[in-house]
Amino acid sequence: MEKSKTRFADLTLLKASETRYPETPDAAKLEAFTNVYQDRDYVITFDCPEYTSLCPVTNQPDFGHIIIRYIPDKLCVESKSLKLYLYSFRNTNTFHEESVNTILDALVELCKPRAAEVVGLFRPRGGIAINVKATYGEKIDE
């Protein structure tokens, strides 16, 4: 029991009794925990079908589906902190390409995975859908 207390000591958001929603991605706090299976490669996938942000020109809402896949090394992303991080984009003015790359950069900075990819599948506006994929490291096998 003592080992798990130490292992999860840095997870402040998951333990919080009250959820505070960050206003911007810069104000959000991504958290990680130790990967106990560092000796093998395995893929973690987060599927976030309710992503929203704002167009930086028109201020209109943009809706998308974000898929994050990564092979962890020493750390794994804690899912509640990721949920709050992605939620923080809802009032953020950003292009689709920027948001996908910003998410990837935050993931890489936090947990330095062996490989990672972030895919954004954005709903059409003006008759055009935009899909963006940003990668880090080696290709992740399907």
Cα–Cα distance, 65 to 27 (Å, whole number): 22
The residues assigned a catalytic role are 55, 62
Burial (CB < 10 A; 0-12, 13-18, 19+), residue 18, is: exposed
C-beta separation of 35 from 51 below 8 A: no
Cα 137–chain centre separation? 17
Q: What is the DSSP string of 7-40?
A: HTTT-HHHH-SS----SSTTT----EEE-TTTTS
